[in-house]
Amino acid sequence: MNESEFTQIADQLMIDIEEAVDASGTDIDYEGNNGVLTLTMEANGSVVIVSRQTAVAQIWVAARSGGFHFVWQGEHWHCTTTGETLLQLMNRVCTEQAGEAVELVF
């Protein structure tokens, strides 16, 4: 995947996550800026940060439980350490940090 393709896929991912948060009905605020999406859990103010890392063609997620790197494989982003898809990890860390079940769909 070249840089242009990565940027296009990563930008669409950020939009998809924002739309998923809106549709989820959970109390999560988000703010996107220059390839970085910050999700703030309203219950306790904790954050999950999703960022695109163009130089290495990865998506990085920072959460209370750690930092996670994702590579594009086929049709999904997969974590290089846990093997989870980005969707699986986002649901897990948001649920942990929000203190309530979070079900994002993207």
What single string gives the DSSP state of each residue in 65-79?
A: TEEEEEEEETTEEEE
Q: Which pLDDT belongs to residue 17?
A: 97
Task: Enter the pTM of the model.
Answer: 0.93
pLDDT band at 105 (very low <50, low <70, confident <90, very high): very high
52-88 confidence digits (pLDDT tens):
999 999 999 999 999 999 999 988 999 999 999 999 9
Average pLDDT on 77-104 reads 96
Class of domain 3-98: alpha beta
What is the sign of the dihedral through the CA atoms of 28, 71, 11 and 33? Answer: positive
Residue 62 φ/ψ, nearest 5 degrees: -115, 125
pLDDT over 90 (residue 1): no
Q: Say if CB 39 and CB 94 are below 8 A apart.
A: yes
Q: Say if CB 54 and CB 3 are below 8 A apart.
A: yes
